[in-house]
Amino acid sequence: MDLKSNHTAPVLADPAPISKSRLVASSLLPYSSPAPVFSPNLLLTVPRKKTGILDDVRASSWLDAMKSSSPRHTSTRDYNHEIVSADTDVAYRTWMVKYPSALSSFEQITNFAKGKRIALFLDYDGTLSPIVDNPDFAFMSIDMRAAVAKVAKYFPTAIISGRSRDKVYGFVGLTDLYYAGSHGMDIMGPVRESSDDPPNCIRSTDKQGKGVKLFQPASEFLPMIDEVFNSLVNSTKEIKGAKVENNKFCVSVHYRNVDEKNWKTVAQCVHDVIRNYPRLRLSHGRKVLEVRPVIDWDKGKALTFLLESLGLSNHDDVLPIYVGDDRTDEDAFKFIGLKTGSERGKSGIWHFSIIRSKGE
C-alpha cells in the first residue's frame, strides 16, 4: 500500500493486498448479495446485539432499559434461556449478514479509499481497550498502542471518548493524537491560524509545548457536575459493586459489578439525585448510566469540530473513518453519513466480528 503524504492527510494511492492472516472466517456471513452502495464516508462499528436507551424517561422504565442493554450470556446451556434469546440472536445474525465483515472486505474498503485523504476517529472503551469489570483498569494492549501510533504517522487520528480527556490520554499516552473527552465536550485539537474560534474555545499549549485549541462548550456546568458526582457517590455507597466516575463534564454510574437484583436501587438513586437538575439529562450505555448537560453537543459535533480544526471539512476528497462500539457512537455515525435504523442499508458500512467475554 503506497501512501502519498501531504500537509494534512495522506492519500491512499493503491489498494492493499488482502492479508490472509487478517481475515475472520465466520459461519454467520454465508451470503452472496451485491456489494453495498458506498457513501462518501466510511464507518466501522462493532455491532451490539441489543442496546437500551435511557434519556428523559420515567424512573419506572429505567430498570427495563438497564436490562435491555445487558444481554445474558449466550453460552449458557439453559434451554429455556435459549428460546427466550432466540429472537435477539436472529436479529443479530441478520445484522451481520446485511453488513459484511470489515476485515474480510479489506480489499474492497481500500479500493473505496483510493484517492481519499483519510482522518481516523476512535472510541476508547470496548474499541481500543477491552471491557473490564473495573473501568480504572481498562488498559489498551501494547500491540494496540503500537498499531494506533503507526496509523497516526500517516493519518490525522483522534480519540473521542466518554471518559475525561485527561483520563483517556493517560490510558493511551500517545502525543501525536488529538483527544476529545466527556463525549466530545472537552476537546484538545490543532490550531489553524485562518479559522475563527467559537465561544468557549481558548488557545493553549500541550505538555510538549505545541500550540493547541481547547474547546469546552459545557464549561458552565462544571460546578453542577461536581455537585451531582458527590451526591451520587454518597447515595450509592451502600450498593455493593456500584462505581461512580467523574468524567469532568459528565458523571458515569457503573453497575457492571452490581447484582441484578439491586439494579433498581441504582436506578432509583440516580433518579433521586438528577430530578433536582432539569439542565441535566440521563443517557444509557453498556451497563452504565451517564449524567450529561442538556446542550446541543455530542460525539458527532466533536468530530465536526476536529475536522474543521484539521482543515478537512467540506472537502469531497476527505474520508473520515469512525470506529466505535456503543450507543453514544451513533452520533458520530450519523454525522459522517450513516442514518440509523431502517435507513442503514443505503450507506456503506462494515462491522468487526469480535468475540468478547461475559456476554459482551
Instruction: Return the active site residues.
Output: 123
Q: CA 220, 224, 227: angle at the middle one, nearest 5?
A: 150
> How far is residue 247's CA from residue 234's CA, in Å, rounded to a whole number?
17
CB 55 within 8 A of CB 294: no
- Cell matching residue 360: 459482551
> How far is residue 131's CA from residue 19's CA, in Å, rounded to a whole number?
27
CB 143 within 8 A of CB 345: no
- Cell matching residue 216: 469546552
CB 130 within 8 A of CB 123: no
> How far is residue 16's CA from residue 207's CA, in Å, rounded to a whole number?
36
> How far is residue 58's CA from residue 267's CA, in Å, rounded to a whole number?
11
Spatial strand order of the sheet with 288-293 comes to 243-246, 251-254, 288-293, 280-285
- Cell matching residue 167: 483520563
Q: Which helix (H) or strand (E) holds 122?
A: strand 117-122
Q: What are phi and psi of 344, to 5 degrees?
A: -60, -40
Q: How many Cα atoms sit within 13 Å of 119 on the Cβ side?
A: 26
**SS3 call for 63:** helix
